[in-house]
Structure 1
Amino acid sequence: MTTDLDDEELLARAARDPAAFEPLVVRHSAALHGYFARRAPGAADDLLAELWLQAYATRSRFDAGRGPARAWLFGVARNVLSAHWRRTAAARPGLQGTAPHDDPWEAVDNRLDAAAVAPRLRAQLARLPSDERELLLLVAWEQLTPTEAAAVVGIPAGTARSRLHRARNRMRAGTPLKLTGDLA
């Protein structure tokens, strides 16, 4: 049975028998998806699919003398991720001609910082009157204009702007952290 074989044996066998590749997918997908999710959260599923296509296409080039199959798979993952960053940079007009993007550690740090303050932020949001909270969330999270948010809530635009201003001030006063974007 192929599932009893180690990764290196599976890859060697997969060069001749494509069905031997499937246990590798089962064994390593979770770890590889985590690798992508930490580095490119919005694209992790697509990157994982691309990884498996590339790994399958190049399975006959695996050389056990250079290291274990797991390391080879992560090497393929790294190449897939680098290609993703190059495509992303090329798609942004202001970034063309710049060096390829390495791991976005600043974005990772920002997500970790956001996770650390999330409980305080939730508590402060819960303290807001419901109409102010709804307006604030519609503008900050849903990217509606204050006028659009007013229409959603069913109040005049001027009233919405006033309540939104009050909500922002209450958030600043009650949360000792730097809020970015529309919350600021």
Structure 2
Amino acid sequence: MTAEESGRADDAELIRRSERTPEAFADLFDRHAPALRRYVARRLGPSLADDIVSDAFLTAFRRRHRYDADHLDARPWLYGITARLISRHRRMEVRFYRARVRSGIDEIAEPYADRVDDRVAAQQAGLAAALAELSYGYREVLLLVAWADMSYEDVARALDIPIGTVRSRLHRARARTRQALGGANPMAIGKESFDG
């Protein structure tokens, strides 16, 4: 059964439909904006998330005629656009992580938990410090895999880099982050402490 037969069009179909009926693009926004907003908020803080996501969808809408309809899932395309917008705020992202280290408070997780215990707060600070020290390219790959649950293939498509580069950057990012965390698994800490 296809997505359309089940009553839910795939992303490529929504994008094609939006070329004739621009309002159809709103369905793509409704489908993906919440996850993109959470991703951006984790990276840059909640204050910029809405603006970045709005800019990402505006860019996607303007470029929709160039979308490769062979890809039924638009997530990698949308995360790629979002990654380029986030890259304009690299310094702010590093400052955001360093502020987490200093305060010991994760602005993203706190609203979802009454209190973060000392162990998790220390892990958050350690992860934030490790993320601040990673180069942008390594951090981007690591967080797309960890926080956006993207496959290597999707990350390669999102960032327009070879899959071998994704694997290499991810391996190095994990190793550097693990070393900064005293041997702890950065993927486990990232999900535990930043997902709330």
Q: TM-score w.r.t. structure 2 length? A: 0.44
**Structure number with larger C-alpha Rg:** 1
Q: TM-score w.r.t. structure 1 length? A: 0.46
Q: Greater share of helix residues, 1 or 2?
A: 1
